[in-house]
Structure 1
Amino acid sequence: MDPSPDEAAAQIEAQEEGGRRVLRASGRIDTEAAARLWPEAMKAAAGAPFAALELSGLKGIDSAGAVLLLTAAPDAEFRGATEQAAAVLERTRRALGTAPPVSAPTRWRPITAIGHATVERARTAVAGIAFMGEAVVTTLRVLTRPRLLRWSEVLRHLDEVGTRAFPLTLLLGFLIGVILAYQSSIPLRRFGAEVFVPNLVGISLLRELGPLLAGVVLAGRTGSAFAAELGTMTVNEEVDALKIMGVDATAMLVLPRLVAATLAMPVLALLMNVAGLAGMTLIMGTLGYPWASVQNQLQQWLSLQDLFGGLFKAACFGLVIAGIGCRAGLSAGRGPRAVGDAATAAVVGGIVAIVAMDGVFAVLFFRLGI
């Protein structure tokens, strides 16, 4: 038989008994009643702590009502509670006792933040230097023991880094040549010097833009792939398994990628140069300059020194991009975002590194008169 409304009406009342405070609860304290009685209960709990919970008039209680009573009187003893009500209260008390405390929001301290960032950058730099040292030591060991280098892996990575990147490199180089020819012809036309467009485009491509753009393609296409592949192996603990089995992970996983990228990058840069010159020649033809005129300007102003200097920079770019990609993959974390973060770090780090290196090479070549 359902209780009458008067019996089921939930009430709480703070009383004094023998110098001790007692919180009396009656009726059915469910979720709706707990929401209604919460302000009153918190107001009553603001004084001295309750010594006991008088529950003889309690008709029913759920977890929300138990949270209300235990929040108002957390250390009080139960009096007059039925077996079912006491079980609910005890179970809720244990759950509240094991719940983690809510941490207070930390204040932003700029000096502390700068210190943490500096320490993290220093640790990353030290780890990068250690990775470079390990790669150099492994390379020296492979020179004395060539069988440690897996040439099948080198050929596989040469196909991934070089052969499969040929279409993208040719397309990008052709478009860059077209854009450079059009944009450089606009200001030169004012002085009647459109004939010097091949000089400008050729020198820019061979010395700077060819290797740099090929490096950007390598960083975005291959550096991220290296980081994702090695990052997945790191997350799946395959790299740790290789180390436990006594296999040199650097010689097996890193060195073939470094060799492949270093060998493929000059080829990609050369293709970028050829495609760019082809695009420039096409635009010069539309402007009324025959191939013989373009060829004459290129032969007069370009030299093998320009070509070899660009190819040397391209080889250095390939080595650095592959190293950054492998380092990002091997240092990946263990979370669900680890592989994505590693790929992002490889692309960003590779592009920044080759741009910085290109600036260093520009200053160096200028000082050496190359």
Structure 2
Amino acid sequence: MKKLLFICLSIFVLPLQTLMADETPKVVVSIKPLHSLVSAVMEGVATPTLLVKKGSPHAYTLRPSEARALASADLVIWIGHEMESFLEKPLETVAENAKQLELAEVLETSLLKTRSGVEWDEHEHHEDHATHEDHDEDHDEEHEGHEDHATHEDHDEEHGGHEEHATDEEHDDDHEGHKEHADHEATHDEEHEGHDEDADHEEHHHGVMDMHLWLDPKIAQKVVTETTKMLIDIDPAHAVQYQANSAKLTTKLAALDASLKQKLAPVKETPYLAFHSAYQYFEVAYDLNAVGSVTIDPDRKPGAKGISEIRERVKKTKARAVFSEPQFESSLVETIIEGTGATTGVLDPLGSDLAQGPDTYFILLNNLADNLVIGLK
């Protein structure tokens, strides 16, 4: 009888022991759009932990529960130091044993330069396309000649070191108008006293390269690829599931990209201002006509003079709309557009009010496109 009881218990206990031994990786992700992509890759295996559920990652403070999640993490996925600076010390101390996937590092060749100032020439972002490998072929004909100026080395060879002799008369002849442009910039600097300080703050706050890389579905596909590689590396037991999820996600991202391109085509020439320069990857991917932003740093509001300058920018460019963001005061935008004829709307690069999950990324980008179309049509 005892022997029979032992056999019966073994039948039920052994599978339980096997299930407990079959551990799944503990993954922590910094922001919601990334968390959505990682969740989709891990679907059917485990659910990653999200750190920044609401608000900006620039000034985030870790909660004790989030610190504990980092302490037990096998893998941490984040953009990089310029985006989530709050993670720098915890990753060195609390999560010192976890592997890291720093996307700004592994996707360095896909990054765009941070825009300077709050005023941009129409389609200014196209000049940086030479470093954005996903779009080079699409814009070769449209921007013929840009490739010749992709590097300073090419420029130096073409002009024989003229950069060292910027005041030479011969150089001025070769580059007619450059001196005038430089004088204009100097005058502009005097007229906008204090803007240099803002630019320095911007470079310190956001870095040289723009970190909002998730807003291009083609780059999101690269995020999926790198995430899948890392997960298979730390959890080979679930490699087949990760690969299947990745393939499914690839198809969905391609469909999203095609849908957004069609949706945004009617408004891609319409000028507008964003609250701050967080949407460059989205604007480049769909050839949108962003002509400036309300502020360099969303945590620092423009003064009365700054507001007056932005209002003039709206009138000069005939901007159809000035967009705010949910985590910042919309009253500032209302003040700016008063009497200009421009409308307003809300753009959210992080999906602050969205529930977290595998579908969040797709909802986020569709919302972004829908709100742009509503504001611009």
For this structure pair, what is the TM-score category when the shorter chain's length is used for normalisation? Answer: under 0.3
**Higher relative contact order at CA 8 Å, sep ≥6: structure 1 or structure 2?**
2
**Which has the larger helix fraction?**
1
> TM-score, normalised on structure 1?
0.24
The structure that has the greater radius of gyration is 1
